[in-house]
Each structure stands twice: as structure tokens, then as C-alpha cells.
Amino acid sequence: MDNAAIEEMFETLGPVTIRRMFGGKGIYFEGVILAVEVDGEILLKGDTETAPALEEAGSRQWTYAGKGKPVKMPYWSTPDSAFDDPEEMARWVRMAHGAALRAKK
């Protein structure tokens, strides 16, 4: 996904910073990472507070193959329905920001 499309997704928060990382991109707002782009997919920061809503919306948690077992990361796929509804996207982006702020503490 190109940077302009990413910036548009997160515009309800304000300007985001996008940095290359691990073959993808980190997406930051006010210095806090709230999402990553991996293989063209935006993965939103999640935590125990937001995971149930993300699962209910059909999101899946990002995992990768670790040494002998899958490793779960605190990032979730963006719900498909959010791409067609700017208000819904704004809600998920705010939830990701909240999760990022809680993780920072």
C-alpha cells in the first residue's frame, strides 16, 4: 500500500509518520506505533481490550513461524468492512491508537 493511501486511512487522527521496517512499514502517530503494513496489508495494534471486537469483526491476529511454534504479535488485520466506510475506519484507527497508548505505559 502506498504512503498516500495509508495517510488517508489514518487522517481522522491527524498526520501520521510512516517508516520502513522489516520489509514493511511502521505507522506512527505522535511517536507511538499504532499499525504496521506487511505485504500490502494494514495491521492495527490490538490488545486484550480491543481483541474481542476485532475478532467479532472478522479480523485475524498476525502470527509468524517462530522456532517450533507460531508467535502471536499484537497486530490485527483491518476489518474488511472498514475499507468501505470512513466512519468505521475512523473507529478502528482510534481503537488501535488507544491500544498503542496502553502498550506504551
Q: Which of 104, 105, 83 is nearest to 31 (CA)?
A: 104
Q: Which of 82, 23, 28 is nearest to 57 (CA)?
A: 82
Q: Which residue ranges of the chain lie beneath pLDDT 50?
A: none
- Quickly name the fold that domain 3-104 has: Yope Regulator; Chain: A, (3.30.1460)
Which pLDDT belongs to residue 66?
A: 85
Which pLDDT belongs to residue 36?
A: 97
Which pLDDT belongs to residue 51?
A: 96
